[in-house]
Amino acid sequence: MRRLFTILCTLVAFTTVAQNSGGIDAAMLEKIRDGYHNTLSERAIKNALATTSIATLAVNGDNLAMCDTHFSHRVKTVGITDQKSSGRCWLFTGLNVLRAKMIVKHDLKDFEFSQNYLSFYDLLEKSNLFLQGIIDTRKCPLDDRKVEWLLKNPIGDGGQFTGVSNLIMKYGAVPKSAMPETYQSENTRHMRTILSLKLREYALKLRSAKNAEVAHMKPIMLTEIYGILVKCLGVPPTTFEWTAYNKKGEKVSTKQYTPKSFYDEYIGEDLENNYVMIMNDPTREYGKVYEIDYDRHVYDGENWLYINLPIERIKEIAIASIKDNTAMYFSCDVGKFFDRKKGTLDLANFDYHSLFNTYFPMDKKERISTFASGSSHAMTLIAVDLDQSGKSTKWMVENSWGAASGYKGNLIMTDEWFNEYMFRLVAERKYVPEDVLKMLDQKPIMLPAWDPMFAAEE
């Protein structure tokens, strides 16, 4: 009897363990199956999904009409750029902000900076940033979090605004005619693969080298990287001739320039001190300043530093800038509720609830916390539509996907979409209220480079 009792207890314990193991057992699977009701509407949706994309079937038929494209306030801009198959949206966006200023300031018909020129130095500087990071951490084990992050992210062509400011202030800028795009600058995937492979190889050599050898190894490595970049992107000009024409097509001047003298003459702004980076991140305390460790393009440059503000304060700054005909660097989670054909970002574009018969109730804070949303793409904020009370109803950004993309190369977003998926804005200090500027006196809260909110914008 005692043995029978022991066996029964063992069986009960085994059954309890099995039920609480976390797996899907037969009973649970049967319950799951019974909970699904294969109705006519369910079968119709299943049949449709078998041959048609979710994006097509989820289109909201009540929202097919194009929105009103009138804007009460719009920055004067000319032309649309195209980053092609590269992750340089951050660079195109920053240069588009400066391009709009230059065209108005100097009464030009059109103009475009060379993105390839700054891409060259961006990749060279990022290579140095990586190699020096390896040198700085060479005594740490390979599984150290920072070493692991470096090896996983040796180089890429994505980035953010501090890359624009640091690179231009260090290397100047040139017109597109002085260093045009190449196939590799417009199609960067294979070039990035080659550079990444080489940099990881160098990382192992630097980690195993003697202390006395490291100092002279890095310049040799960077020389080889420089050679790869020259083959892919061309030789960056140190001097060039450029002729300026006004709106009437009349020749204004022809001069010899260096990249620094060209920038100083036509823009001349201190990009590192005249701009403030602002972010809406409801997962963190508002009114605080945050710094992201190692989130920079240049080793001796600036980490990304931003003020976290409620969305309404950000709108206040954006509206002030647009009213004064000044475009801004802007980034968001562009893939959410994006109608590519119309070029609209609107929460009503897609009806996933009706298609899948389930709700998606997470708010912005919850989406960020669960990695469901984050900033992915930078564009140039150029317009806002205000109602009679001065409240924003919609916004427009100049994109860098070519003139045939979206609405004449632009994207239009509703104010509701702006609230949910806008993340970053870079504005001139003169448009930022004094109480916000005073926040910069705080000691920044340091965040790690691998924080999910700060992936490079592409």
| Residues marked as catalytic | 89, 377, 399
Going by C-beta distance under 8 Å and a sequence separation of 6 or more, which residues neighbour residue 373? 333, 336, 364, 367, 421
Helix (H, G, I), strand (E, B) or coil at 297: coil
Residue 148 · residue 125 · CB < 8 Å: no
What are the backbone angles phi and psi of residue 377, rounded to the nearest 5°?
A: -150, 140
Token pair in block for residue 225: 């990287």
Q: Vertex 291, ends 133 and 423: CA angle to 5°?
A: 115
Residue 186 · residue 85 · CB < 8 Å: yes
Could you count the other beta carbons within 10 Å of the beta carbon of residue 31?
11
Token pair in block for residue 220: 């040799």
Q: How big is the chain, counted in residues?
A: 458
For residue 169, the one-letter residue type is M
What's the CA gap between 221 and 129, in Å, rounded?
Answer: 13
Helix (H, G, I), strand (E, B) or coil at 44: helix
C-alpha to C-alpha distances, 181 to 119, 130, 164, 444, nearest whole angstrom:
10, 25, 18, 38
Q: At what angle do helices 211-233 and 189-208 cross, to 10 degrees?
A: 170
For residue 375, the one-letter residue type is S
Q: In angstroms, what is the C-alpha Rg of the chain? A: 27
Could you count the other beta carbons within 10 Å of the beta carbon of residue 55?
12
What's the CA gap between 360 and 351, in Å, rounded?
Answer: 11
